[in-house]
Amino acid sequence: MGNNQEAYDAECAALARALQLAVLRSTTPEWITICSDAQTAIRRMGSDVSGPRQPYALQVRKYITMLDRARKGIAIEI
């Protein structure tokens, strides 16, 4: 993760990476379930407000949009 990183950074990065992997699949799944106990990271991914970890939140939104375009009605549960 690099210098000056915390577990929170890793949790946010992991959520974005999980969705990125779903985007990179050869076929788009009907549903995606991502399990995490990092409530703060999950809440942060739901907000695009400027601040810490915003790049991860923006990535998550981008990947969700891409998945929705690839398969209308896809169910994504975090």
Q: Is the pLDDT of residue 2 over 70?
A: no
Q: Rounded to the nearest 5 degrees, what angle is found at the Cα of 37, between the Cα atoms of 44 and 50?
A: 10
Phi, psi angle pair for 76, to nearest 5°: -120, 120
Q: Is the pLDDT of residue 3 over 90?
A: no
CA distance 13 to 17: 6
Asked if residue 70 lies in contact with residue 29, where contact means CB atoms within 8 angstroms, the answer is: no
- The Cβ of residue 14 has, within 10 Å, a number of other Cβ atoms equal to 15
State the angle between helix axes of 54-70 and 7-24 in degrees (0 to 180), rounded to the nearest 10. Answer: 20
| Predicted confidence (pLDDT) per residue in 29-47, tens digit | 999 999 999 999 999 988 8
For residue 43, the enclosing domain spans 7-77
In a domain, 49, yes or no: yes
Which pLDDT does position 1 carry in this prediction? 63
For residues 24 and 46, the model is more confident at 24
The total number of structural domains in the chain stands at: 1
In a domain, 1, yes or no: no
